[in-house]
Every structure is written in structure tokens, then in C-alpha cells.
Amino acid sequence: ETIGRLAKDDPAPLYLQLQRHLRDAIQSRHLHQDDAIPPERDLAEDFEVSRITVRKAIDGLVSEGLLTRRRGAGTFVASRVEKSFSKLSSFSEDMISRGRKPHSEWVSKSAGAVTPEESLSLGLSPGALVYRFHRVRFADSTTMALEYSTIPGYCLASPEAVTSSLYDALEKTGHRPVRALQRLRAVAFNAEQAERLGVKPGDPGLFIERRGFLQDGRAAEFTQSYYRGDAYDVVAELNDIS
């Protein structure tokens, strides 16, 4: 099956055009998780570009985590989610960019006065209003994570404002975080968490705690995420500091 042709009048470099085609094919589910992509020489022929261009396009998508190379077998649509540790993206965005459908099962949604622990994490005064969201997060019908978010009251009109994506709701009120601090730790799922995720107690998880801030420095979120250890690779680009 051919994925398409490149537009003759597109001024973008060929490898970027090819990347766009492949990305679209994944997002629109013409290519699924674990599917092999056509061999380089077929892609080069189909798209009428050189193999160097094909290789460059694939290299970029491999480093983005959308594709993985398996030695001797070819290049496949990645099955584990490669999650950037340094991008301020949302769960929904992470899934949509991989052609998967984000979905949440709500455990609870509430409003209340900040606890002493939350007030420390969010820098709020005692008594301040916060909203709390506890969700099981899915990609299509697969469980991916458990999330507990605490959002200052000034960020949203009410907890009901969040129906699917929290970041979409925050974006609508102009309170999507622009900066965040994160901490990552290995965990073993306890019995309750394992049951919600449909894994075994003791199975490994990645605990990521994110504190997000607005441009003016005020807190926008305190979220504790428990990602499935069997579903995620956490990746980051490093630069020499010397």
C-alpha cells in the first residue's frame, strides 16, 4: 500500500514532507502500533526521493519516538510510548500525536479547601479553593496511567469545566501552565492501583510529579501521575554544559 505522493510545489525539504506523510499515516491510523513501515527502497520509489532522504526522514521519526528500528527486522511504528521528560505536553496530546484516542475514566472530581500539603506544593494560602481530579487514563481501550491533579480555584470556573483534557480546559481560561518542575521515581503498583490499571500488584510504574506554573509565577497544577512501566519509555535530549 502506498502512503502517498509529495506535492510538487511544496517548498519544504523533501525529508520533512516525507516525515509529515508518515506522521499523518500514523495519526490517521493507516499505520498502527507495531506495524512495519515499508522498506527504505520502496519508500524511495513510491515517493520518488533518494534513499538518503528516506533515511533522514526515518531517523527524525525514530528520535521523536514514533518509529523504532529492530535490528534485522526493519522499522516499526513504536509500541511503547516514548514520552519526553522535557516537553510540557498533556496526556491527550501525547496520545493523539501517536494516533491513539485519549480517554479518561473518572474516579473522582471535587472542590475543597487546600490541605497543608497541597498548599506547600502549590504555594497557596491556607483555606484557598482547589479542585481535585482523579482519573484513570486510557489510550483507546488500554489503561496507561492513574492521575491525581490538584488545580488552584483561580484556574477554572468549576471542576465541571474539565470533561476530557485538563490542559484544554486550562487553555480555555488562559491558565495552561507554561513552565513546570518534574520529578520521576520508580514505583511498584499497590493492589488498588493495580486493579484500576488492570495490571498485577507489584508491577512497575513510573511516578511523575509535575508542578506547573503560569507566566506570572502562580501555580497552575500539581499532578501526580503513575504511568504504566510496561508502556512508557521516558526520553530527553541532553546538551553538553561545558
Residues of the shown chain interacting with ligand 16G in the complex, contacts defined by CB under 6 A: 90-92, 102, 147, 149, 165-168, 208, 210, 221, 223, 225
- DSSP per position, the chain: -------TT--S-HHHHHHHHHHHHHHTTSS-TTPBPPPHHHHHHHHT--HHHHHHHHHHHHHHTSEEEETTTEEEE-SSEEEESS----HHHHHHTTT--EEEEEEEEEEEEPPHHHHHHHTPPTT-EEEEEEEEEEETTEEEEEEEEEEEGGG-S-GGG-SS-HHHHHHHTT---SEEEEEEEEEE--HHHHHHHTS-TT-EEEEEEEEEE-TTS-EEEEEEEEEETTTEEEE-------
Closest separation in Å from C-beta 160 to ligand 16G = 15
Nearer to ligand 16G, 47 or 167 (CB): 167
Nearer to ligand 16G, 47 or 232 (CB): 232
Nearer to ligand 16G, 68 or 165 (CB): 165
Closest separation in Å from C-beta 240 to ligand 16G = 26
Nearer to ligand 16G, 18 or 144 (CB): 144
Nearer to ligand 16G, 61 or 170 (CB): 170
Closest separation in Å from C-beta 135 to ligand 16G = 8
Nearer to ligand 16G, 49 or 151 (CB): 151
Closest separation in Å from C-beta 71 to ligand 16G = 30
Whether residue 76 contacts residue 70, with contact meaning beta carbons closer than 8 Å, is answered with yes
Closest separation in Å from C-beta 138 to ligand 16G = 11
Closest separation in Å from C-beta 85 to ligand 16G = 8
